Structures are given as structure tokens and as C-alpha cells.
Structure 1
Amino acid sequence: MIETPRLIIRPWQESDRVPFAAMGADPEVMAHFPALLSRAESDAMVDRIGLMLADQGFGFWAVERRDSGDFIGFCGLNRVNFLCPVAGEVEIGWRLVRAAWGQGFAREAAQVCLDWGFAHGLTRIVSFTVPANMRSWGLMERLGMQRRADLDFDHPRVAEGSPLKRHSVYEALA
């Protein structure tokens, strides 16, 4: 679907389910999410992503290394479908296996996904994460996204009192 010198960003395959489930069960990968994912929850997420891709024409695509063919995570675009200041907007999101961290893969994938979104008519793309997730908001800044503190919110799907409740918002404009 989208190729970079090191990555293939593509629709999901059945073979992605096992490594995706392992990623969702990794406490370091999931440190800024409310819970680890069981295999059933992981498979359900892959199914939802497949429906999202079919319905919207975009979504969270699988990310594969060109040199090895290994699935290393996902990156892509999705409409924010819960009540918050950016509801209905298109967000960019990513999640990679720990072995792929620190090698520029997330930035490479995110940049081409932003470019794809703007080339396909989007004029604004947002992203959000918890303030403690320095890797993610650092990437947002490296991508040239601007901090929008006026849009920060308490995530309605995160329990009251959780340190993961508050989310910081960034935006990129075409």
C-alpha cells in the first residue's frame, strides 16, 4: 500500500495476529495504556481495524520491515469516535514492537501516513497521548505537529483517578 525505503505499510494479514497479540501483552509496549490485551482482545482489535479500513478507506495499517518481512506494529489514521474536543477528527496513531524502538521506524511510518492523509484531502490530523508518554509526544514534535493544550482532555474510556486519564493533543495542518 505505502512503501518507504525500510517499511511496507499495508492491510493486515492473518499472520500478523500472533505478533500483534505478543505486542499487546508486552508491559513495556502497553505502559501508557490502561491494560494489557488478552489474545481475544487483540484479535478483536485486529477485526475492528479491518472493518475501519473497509468503512473509511484508511485506518491503522500493519507495518512490516522490508528487509525481513517481519510485522513490527501498526501506524495510520482513524476517526476519533468518542466524546472529546477532537471527536470526529482524524487522528494518527502508532504502536511498534519493543525490538523496533529507537530505529526511526515510527517516524518513517508516521511521516508517510501523514503525507498520505494530506494527499487524500485531509487538512488537519491530530494525535494525543498521556503526558508521561515522552516517546509518543516526542515523535509528534519531530513530525512537526503543534501542541494544542487548549484541546487536552480527560479520556472518557479511562478510569477516574488513573494517571492515564489526561491526554495531551497535537495537530498537523496541511
Structure 2
Amino acid sequence: MDRQPTLDGPTLHLRPLEEADWAALYAVASDPLIWAVHPAHDRWREPVFREFFEGAISGGGALAVIDRASGRIVGSSRFQGYEPANGGSVEIGWTFLSRACWGGDTNRELKRLMLGHALNSVERVLFRVGEQNLRSRGAMEKIGGRLTDRRDDVVMNGTVVPHVIYEISREDFRKGPLARA
């Protein structure tokens, strides 16, 4: 599976994240309200975001989310944890968007593009969401994510943060709300 594709939708262009994107992406990420309900609520701080960004670059799979009308970066997302066995799976996550993109169709288009690409290669896509991150959990349900019984504890800033796992299978995607988008 190509974890760093170039994908185009009606309003978004996704491409591999590059070192040169640092300033534009941090300009988006430096808004503390983006991270207010996120488990990493201090990710707006430059040293914390620098670590996040460097992990995105070194780990591969990171994408810049670009508004096609303005040509500006409005966020990022990643393909992570690719597992080709048993039909295959990959995780989509680490997604954040500028507040100007909240409440509209941007997240739906982003996830539709990424899911469509991933589900050509794998049977299911996983999403790891902080248990208390109600905004992201609501967004998962809007796009047809099915809450599984799996849990994962992630250490963030020295604290264990419980995460829940959502899943969208190839079949669910074909029948779900994003197929009609």
C-alpha cells in the first residue's frame, strides 16, 4: 500500500508531507483551540508540535491537507500501522484541521479520499481516538466508524490516556455515509 499518495477531491489536494511544510503547518497547529479537547492538549506549543512533526516526517505516511482554492495547507493526517496480513489493515489518524475547516465537509472529504485509497489495498481501516475526545468520536460516527470493543492505552506527556478503536471495513465504506458523499 502506498502510504503517501497524492489524492485530489473537489476542494482538497493531499500530498506527502515535506520538511518544507513546517512553517505553514505550524501556523495552523499553533491555535490552542484546535487541541483543547485532544489528549495532547499542549500540541499547539512549538516544541511539542516540533516533535509531532518530526515523527510525521520520519515515520512516513503523513499527508499535507491543502485547500485547492487558496493553495494553503489547512492540516494534516497520516496512514500508520500498515498490516498486510489477514486481508490487511491500516490506521488513519493524527488528523487535525484548522478551525476554519470545522463543521463543514472538509473532514468528510479528507476521510473519503484516504479511505477510498486505503481500502483498495486493505480490508479495514482503524482509527485510534482518545476516549474523552468527544469531538473526534462524534466525527468518527458521522463518517460511519464502528466502535469496536478494542482499547489501547497510549502514554502522552507521561500520562496514560485510554483510547478507543473505531473501524471501517471495505464493505462498510461502500454502503456507508461516505459512499454517498
TM superposition score category, shorter chain reference: 0.7 to 0.9
Structure-2 change in CA distance of 1:33 and 1:66 (3 Å): same
Which portions of structure 1, spanning 4 or more consecutive aligned residues, are displaced by more than 6 angstroms? Answer: none
Which of the pair is proportionally richer in strand? 2
Structure-2 change in CA distance of 1:51 and 1:155 (3 Å): closer
Q: Distance in 1 between matches of 2:113 and 2:75?
A: 15
SS in structure 2 at match of 1:77: strand
Aligned residue pair count: 157
Deviations 1:45-83 (A, max 9, x none): 333323322xxxxx1200000000010001231118xxx
CA drift of 1:132 comes to 3.0
Structure-2 change in CA distance of 1:41 and 1:144 (3 Å): same
Q: Distance in 2 between matches of 1:167 and 1:51?
A: 23
Structure-2 change in CA distance of 1:90 and 1:157 (3 Å): farther
Asked if 1:50 corresponds to 2:60, the answer is: no
Q: What is residue 114 of structure 1 aligned with on the other side?
A: 115
Q: What is residue 77 of structure 1 aligned with on the other side?
A: 79
SS in structure 2 at match of 1:147: strand
CA drift of 1:124 comes to 1.8
Contact kept? 1:21, 1:38, Cα under 8 Å: no
Q: Distance in 1 between matches of 2:44 and 2:107?
A: 21
Q: Distance in 2 between matches of 1:33 and 1:21?
A: 18
Q: Distance in 1 between matches of 2:157 and 2:144?
A: 28
- Cα RMSD between the aligned structures? 2.4
Gaps of 5+ in 2: 1-5, 83-88, 171-181
Q: Distance in 2 between matches of 1:153 and 1:14?
A: 30
Q: Distance in 2 between matches of 1:136 and 1:42?
A: 19
Q: Distance in 1 between matches of 2:158 and 2:151?
A: 17
CA drift of 1:18 comes to 1.6
Contact kept? 2:19, 2:57, Cα under 8 Å: no
Q: Distance in 1 between matches of 2:47 and 2:32?
A: 17
Give the alignment's TM-score, normalised by structure 2: 0.75
Contact kept? 1:76, 1:110, Cα under 8 Å: no
Give the alignment's TM-score, normalised by structure 1: 0.78
Q: What is residue 156 of structure 1 aligned with on the other side?
A: 155
- The residue correspondences of 1:137-156 to structure 2 (distance < 5 A) are 137-148=137-148, 150-156=149-155
Structure-2 change in CA distance of 1:167 and 1:128 (3 Å): same
Contact kept? 2:39, 2:156, Cα under 8 Å: no
Match of 1:170 among 166, 171, 176: 166
Q: Distance in 2 between matches of 1:70 and 1:23?
A: 10
Q: What is residue 85 of structure 1 aligned with on the other side?
A: none
CA drift of 1:101 comes to 1.1
